[in-house]
Amino acid sequence: MRVVEGADEARRTILRREHAEATEVPGAVAETLERVFGRRVSPEEAVRCIIDDVRKRGDEALAHYNRALDGVSSGAIEVDHAEIEAAWSEIPSELADALRFAAGRIREYHEEQRRHAAQSFFNNGRGQQVTAVERVGMYVPGTSVVYPSSVLMTAIPARVAGVGELFMATPAGPDGSVSPLKLAAADLAGVDRVFRIGGAQAIAALAIGTETVPRVDKICGPGGLFVTLAKQMVYGQVGIDSVYGPSETIVVADESADPVLSAADLLAQAEHDELANPILLATSREVVDRTLQEVEKQLATLPRGQIARNALERQGGAVIVASIDEAVMLANEYAPEHLCLNVSAAERYLSAVKHAGAVFVGEGSPEAIGDYTAGPSHVMPTGRAARFSGALGVHDFLKITSVINLDGGLAASLARQGAVIAQAEGFTGHAAAMERRLDRQDGAR
């Protein structure tokens, strides 16, 4: 794990964001694409072909790509209710209770968020009406590794917002089965229908609609390269929440920080995948050394230790900063998905944080709890997107309709000024539409 000193060197090295080339894929993936499409294609070309094919052939195309790309040999596109109900019997009772507990916390938080979200109002002839998105599709990745927490973290905010219909698309295993963990979480969160479709074809189906899959108004949820490309390509036909990249965590630690906990916080994110970005900002070399020693000890105990080690060595690093204030300044520039303040009197620095998906204040608030049971959604901005967006929440499923309802006198006064501006812009039809209201008002007197 690299160690550098000072803000300038940090910006030049560890905190420098590189633009990921979307066309770089592993050799096995490139070979699969060539086999499926009969020629060498880039990921962008493959996704475009898939979307066009789903538009033309609907369910037939979905079944084809389920077989050709994901190796799914059987199974209807939609998961029936009997399979969803049976999923609960395949889950240990302790895990089922934990899912219910997490769902309760997540729901409580987002109900509170809804109370503070945009509200309808009307005043002085103008206002806004706040309504929920009518139909939402959520994508949940993973077959060998599954994330029931992501189901809860995406579906529950949508439900609390008042979304009318909520659908889930998720890849199936070779035998056509969907993990019972995903199905139980979907049932718990109030998902209406589940479709066993993965990758770009899932996004295309939700955006376009097929014989089986209804067209949605907005698509949410993280995914790999092909899902991300597909979401970008269908944006405009439907809304999307964001595009998501590898996990990011900055841990800020001072001399009071427990190196065991700081190391655990770094590793909790590093074990996601080899592209994760675990970064330590520490106030002294001693803090760095103690933390990295603990990292080495804990790596040996993790089943996903090699994945975590690769992430630490490739994208991770430690920066020795002059002060906590400098660390927060660098964190704001980087705009991480997760920011952990493992420092004394951590609350003092919260107001200085401007750009982060979530802030974990003090060692007693570990990021890992935020991934499961704290309450806020763990679906958060990556790739510097925290500078202009935030965690997925109720607000992502609400839309504002402007309302204008003027009485005669107010309409007349507004029309006079509006007509002047319209004439200056050369829009005489606009001006006339307002002036005719003035004529009627004058004629009524």
Instruction: Establish whether 337 is a catalytic residue.
Output: yes
| Listed residue (177, 108, 183, 176) closest to 151, CA to CA | 183
Strands 193-196 and 78-79, by their bridges, are antiparallel
Torsion angle of C-alpha atoms 98, 186, 223, 60, degrees rounded to 10 = 150
How would you classify residue 347: left for phi > 0, otherwise alpha for psi between -120 and 50, otherwise beta? alpha
- Give the integer Cα–Cα distance in Å for 167 and 195: 8
- Give the integer Cα–Cα distance in Å for 191 and 101: 18
| Residue 16: DSSP 8-state | P
Strands 338-342 and 78-79, by their bridges, are unpaired
Mark out the alpha helices in 254-360 (DSSP H runs): 259-270, 285-299, 305-314, 324-334
Strands 126-132 and 121-123, by their bridges, are antiparallel
- Give the integer Cα–Cα distance in Å for 357 and 391: 6
Which of these is catalytic: 248, 271, 294, 337? 337
**What separation in angstroms does the CA of 222 have from each of 381, 382, 383?**
10, 11, 13
DSSP 406-430: --HHHHHHHHHHHHHHHHHHT-HHH
Q: Are 330 and 319 in contact (CB under 8 A)?
A: yes
- Give the integer Cα–Cα distance in Å for 7 and 136: 43
> Which residue in this structure is represented by tokens 């992501």?
150
- C-beta neighbour count of 57 within 10 angstroms: 14
Mark out the alpha helices in 372-407 (DSSP H runs): none
Terminal Cα-to-Cα distance of the chain (whole angstroms): 82
Contact partners, residue 70, CB within 8 Å, separation at least 6 = 143, 171, 172, 174, 198, 199
The residues annotated with a catalytic role in the active site are: 337-338
